[in-house]
Amino acid sequence: MEFLKWRAEDGVAIVTINRPPANALAQQLIRELDELMTEVEHNNDVRVVLLHGEGRFFSAGADIKEFTDVSSEQQAVNLAENGQAVFDRLESFPKPVIAAIHGAALGGGLELAMSCHIRYVAEDAKLGLPELNLGIIPGFGGTQRLPRYVGLAKAAEMIFTGEPISGAEAVQWGLANKAVPQEELLPQALELAKKIAKKSPVSLKAAIHALQYSKKSFEEGIKAEAEQFGIVFNSEDAKEGIQAFIEKRQPTFSGK
Do residues 237 and 256 lie in contact, with contact meaning Cβ atoms separated by under 8 Å? yes
Candidates 140, 183, 133; CA nearest to 159 is: 133
Beta bridge partners of 52: 16, 100
What pLDDT was estimated at residue 1?
81
pTM metric for this prediction? 0.95
d(CA 243, CA 91): 32
- In the three-class reduction of DSSP (H, G, I as helix; E, B as strand; rest coil), residue 225 is classed as helix
Q: How far apart, in whole angstroms, are the C-alpha atoms of residue 105 and residue 96?
A: 20
Q: For residue 194, give every residue at least 6 positions away whose Cβ sits within 8 Å of its Cβ, in sequence order, or none.
A: 9, 10, 11, 12, 48
**Residue 73 parent element (H or E):** helix 73-91
**Residue 9: enclosing H or E segment and its boundaries?**
strand 4-9
Comparing CA positions, the residue from 136, 163, 142, 145 lying closest to residue 66 is: 136
Q: What is the pLDDT of residue 62?
A: 86
d(CA 103, CA 53): 9
> Are 38 and 50 contacting, i.e. CB atoms less than 8 angstroms apart?
no
What pLDDT does 216 receive? 86
Spatial contact of 107 and 62, defined as CB atoms under 8 Å apart: yes
Q: What is the pLDDT of residue 133?
A: 96
- Cα–Cα dist 256/193, whole Å: 20
* 82 contacts 104 by C-beta, under 8 angstroms: no
Catalytic annotation on 131? yes
The confidence score (pLDDT) of residue 215 equals 85
- Show pLDDT as tens, one digit a residue, over the chain (256 residues): 899 999 999 999 999 999 999 999 999 999 999 999 999 999 999 999 999 999 999 999 988 888 888 889 999 999 999 999 999 999 999 999 999 999 999 999 999 999 999 999 999 999 999 999 999 999 999 999 999 999 999 999 999 999 999 999 999 999 999 999 999 999 999 999 999 999 999 999 999 999 999 888 899 999 999 999 999 999 999 998 999 899 999 998 988 8
Which residues have a Cβ under 8 Å from the Cβ of 99 and sit 6 or more positions away?
51, 52, 58, 105, 112, 113, 116, 118, 119, 120
Active site residue 2: no
**Identified catalytic residue from 32, 91, 131, 169:** 131
The predicted pLDDT at position 203 comes to 96
Out of 32, 91, 111, 169, pick the active-site residue.
111
